[in-house]
A and B are shown apart, each in its own frame.
Chain A
Amino acid sequence: MKLIDLAGFLVYFCTYLVVLPVGIGTIFYRKLSRPLKVLYCNLIIVLFLDLVLLTIGGRLGNGLLYLFSLVDLMMMTWVFTSLIRSNSYKIIFRGSALLLGMYGLIDALYFSGLHVNGYSNGIIKLFIAILVMYYLSQLLLEDVEFRLKDMPMFWVSLGAILYNGFGFFDVFSSPIINYSQSFYLQYEIIWSVATIFMYIAYSWAFRISDRKL
């Protein structure tokens, strides 16, 4: 199997793997906590966009995805800040998310353009990764009475950190894509694996949401 075939397969596979967490989330919807319900809605939107992209494709689709990254920023910020106990950090993260959202919009409309993965996209992903890391620190130090593997938000955090951590390297995607095809394909493969892991982690989080802690 050539690298391009493997990368192509993984990119398609990870894109449509979103049906897994959406399916499991639908089954266990009643058991989901509020943050998990918001995350579930986020995944529904992703699935919907993927289907739209499949139909229309091209530059318009990329534009929609770009705009979705701003929606994703807001939703993920709400999911995690609603669980953060420190009020001051909550305000700082929400304020930063708003500023980043505006920056992303300006970047998309005036600088990078709607059809490419702009620098703001990578910065937004880095912000989400930092937010989730802060939440994970809280979870590790304060919610000690529960086992980590039984906590849905632990799995959500793991998936989000891995995906957004790798997503940050989108900042370099523009030079990479023009530099080396093989390197770009390798980057795509790693990104796909991170996405697959994230969806599996989300699915598992939905699955164990009925466990009584």
Chain B
Amino acid sequence: MRRSRWPRIVLTAAVAAVSVVLAGCTAASPAGSGSGGAGDDAEHASLTYWYWAESDAPGANDWMKGRIAAYQGKHPGVTIKLVPQATDTLIGAFTTAAQSKSGPDIATQWATLPVLSQVWGGAVAPISDYLPDSERKNWIGTQENTYQGKVWGMPIYLIGIPLAYNKSLLARAGVAAPPTTFAELLRACAALRKVGVTPIGGGNKDGYFGAWFFSNFGKQNLDSVGDLQQAVIGTTDIRDPKVTGFYEPLHQLHANKCFNDDIASLSLDDGMSKFAGGQAAMAWGTDGIVAKWARTLGPEKIGVVRTPTWGTGKLASVYNTTQSSTAFITSWSAHKKAAAQFLGWLHDPANLTSWYEATGIFPADTRFDQATITSELGRSLWELTSSPGSVWLENYLPPAVDGDGDLAAGQVITSGGSVADAVAAFAKATEKWRGQNPAEVKNYTTWSGR
């Protein structure tokens, strides 16, 4: 009797288990933004904030801790737990949390597609539903996270990526002026090499140098970001030199020994630090990192220029600026009003000033008092970063293509590979994304035709 019943019991249990799994998986479908619920009181809430900015803006974590302490002092009914996030797991950790609709009330993702991917998954509540237009109209860069007429996240700061140069090292090589064209850059490299100076400091072990190169040079043959979007969805060929031809200048710089010889075995941060150490004459860095270099080397020794012109597209002349990271309210938060009120308060003019003083990075708000900028270097950076029409091209790549293709393709070049191999790696990653993410491709296509 027992022998005959036991298999049936096991079978029943297995069927039940599979049913539970299937039910659980089915439940992981997109959710709406929802509401904060009856208990959504802006003055009584316990918020969790998953925060990322320190890599862009050294000093950001301490600034945010200070702002939270100040806010909690003004709003005793609100407590905010700050949880700094790691760069490598920023997307993965939030996606995992979103799957179970638990975790932070406020989260951070990089602007545009990393944010919109979560929007399409139903994990984000539009901040424009909670803060008035009179407040939002002061924010800079909201177009990066606008979808279906709503603004889904809040910018805190702006970063531009200038090419910084060491005036005395260029002078030692007889380079009278910083390079503004690609040909001048190659000539400067040769001159610097002759006097034994590393022309450009960089590190691409983690792939981020290549990703920056994509944004700095990849847009230069494009007339609009739509050219890239069409290639990503497959309407046009991504192998077209118009889109991926920028690997040629990267290859030329590598072949002409314009980079430090150990670029492939150093991380981006370690590679850039060669500039701060006076070992490299030029380096790309964010506004905040350049400000940090200025404190080390002396502001009078550093100059900044936009990335030398290589391409001929309409975007060749525009600067590279982005809000980089975006703060947004999660769809499952029970305290959306409290979260929105706190985020809005971060754009208080006093906070904008303290942000700039703490990080050297410009706040993403027109109310920022430019009189706060006292150094010549700071004014040069502001002039570049606030220039109209700026684009950060990497924002328009789906995260999977960025990680799988953009980062890897740059590594192909910096570790000695060919342009053809780099382009092939990029193209394969795009094809893989299209095959693996049919729903995201649909959303991306709809969005790109906005």
A and B co-occur in one complex: no
